[in-house]
Amino acid sequence: MKTYIVVGLGRFGTEAAKRLCELGCEVLAIDQSSDLVQHISDSVTQAVVADARDKGVLRALGVADFDCAIVAIGGSLGDSVLATMNLKELGVPYVVCKAHDETHRQVLTKLGADMVVIPEQEQANRLARNLSSPNVLDYIELSDDYGIIEVPAPAKWIGKSLKDLNVRAKLGVNIIAIKQGESVNVSPGADYAILEGDVMVVLGDTAALNAVQKL
């Protein structure tokens, strides 16, 4: 069972903690607000009032024994920096941080955060991408240059096998999964023939994904 510690119980931290617990993970949620801790106590493995800026407190909670820490203190750069430094110095293997802007992201990255997310920015990017490309069902940005899209199989692909399409060589993308109604075919074989109604999950750089959308 994966174990997580979530620091900061605002909207983002609370939702992350609850969802991880629903997925069968062990979750320790901490915040300085007793009201926020009380609110989430029935939805996670354990919830405690604690100050993540205090390394001694984190050590006493045994944070080094957790697989991952999520620092969801988005409002205060100083607080999230101290929490991140403490968690890394105490040996947490993987630290994910929430940032509120690019400067915040850069600071946390330099401090050793393994992943930094800006939820509002990423949701806005996804929304803009989906609205500007009517045939794109979903978009996930992996970096400034790479992403994943879900797009209905182009009409010209129907009946052709992945081997025949050879999209990696011709378009520079990889089809990493195919959705068929409620089922998902992960890593479909080269002999798989595209069916009408298939939704392609495609990985590639921005230019290549734009090309796929125009087919």
Say yes or no to pLDDT of 73 above 70. Answer: yes
Say yes or no to pLDDT of 133 above 60. Answer: no
CATH of the domain at 145: 3.30.70.1450
Residues 41, 71, single domain; the answer is yes
Structure token pair of residue 88:
């890394």
Domain that holds residue 193: 125-213
Residues 109, 130, single domain; the answer is no
Say yes or no to pLDDT of 131 above 60. Answer: no
180-205 mean pLDDT: 89
* The predicted structure's pLDDT at residue 215: 82
24-44 mean pLDDT: 95
Tell me the H-state helices in the chain: 11-22, 34-40, 55-60, 77-89, 102-110, 119-132, 162-165, 167-171, 206-213
Residues 9, 68, single domain; the answer is yes
Last residue of a domain, one of 74, 96, 117: 117
Distance CA 183, CA 198 (A): 10
Say yes or no to pLDDT of 74 above 70. Answer: no
Last residue of a domain, one of 117, 134, 153: 117
CATH of the domain at 88: 3.40.50.720
Say yes or no to pLDDT of 23 above 90. Answer: no
pLDDT band at 146 (very low <50, low <70, confident <90, very high): confident
Last residue of a domain, one of 76, 96, 117: 117
